[in-house]
Amino acid sequence: MPANNYEEQQDTPNLAFHPFNVLLMLSLVSLGALFITLTAAFMYARIQNQMPPIKLPNLFIVNTLILLGSSGAMFWAKRAYLKDDTQQYQYALITTIVLSLLFMASQFIAWKQMFSNNIFIDSSLSASYLYVISGLHFAHVIGGLPFLGVFLWKAYKHMKEPVSVLVYFSDPEKRLKLRLLTIYWHFLDALWIYLVIFLYLNYLIQ
């Protein structure tokens, strides 16, 4: 059996209806529906009330690149886990956390730039939607950080000697949780790209 096929089978055990798996899928569907509803309501309200568009700070594009980097780091962590590469796995988790914190700091600066242009959450309906949409996404990034922190803490706690490393990497539940966290992180990345494209197109369509 080829090694790659073996890795895929190890990575995706027959746990399609595992409670964690079902819970994540339901959460992602709900989250996606929430943001689609918000963006549709935003567009409808803007057309109905003929609201002027708001130009996004360029940092929104920078933040997209940062999130792409964090998503890539999560993929790196997953591959390192499958290869039983302790050091690379730890480095990848640290990189994901650092990039996520960088995204949060950069998003605060982007909002501050909007404040300096007198665009506040109560300035207009357009501004309200923009802050709510970007703020909700920001909150879900924060929500994922504790899980990353737990993975990193366990990686350092249990990866000190060959036996503990072997036990850690052979645990199917840990593999499943890492897979689900990776899916969640990729979803947040894709969601942010959708939101940025939507908001920029909303600005261009006068």
Which tens digit of pLDDT belongs to each residue from 37-91? 999 999 888 888 888 878 889 999 999 999 999 999 999 999 998 888 888 999 9
Q: The domain containing residue 49 runs over which residues? A: 3-204
Domain count for the chain, please give it: 1
Question: For residue 52, what is the domain's CATH number?
Answer: 1.20.120.80
Sign, CA torsion 90/139/108/183: positive
42's tokens: 């935003």
The two structure tokens encoding residue 204 = 């261009």
Which phi and psi angles does 158 have, rounded to 5°?
-100, 0
Kindly tell me if the per-residue pLDDT of 199 is higher than 80.
yes
pLDDT for res 50: 82
> pTM score > 0.75 for this model?
yes
CA distance linking residue 85 with residue 83, whole number of Å: 5
What one-character DSSP code corresponds to residue 52? P
CA distances (Å), 59 to each of 41, 53, 65, 113, 118, in order?
A: 25, 17, 10, 9, 17
The amino acid occupying position 123 is S
pLDDT in tens, 133-177: 999 999 999 999 999 999 999 888 877 667 777 777 778 888 888
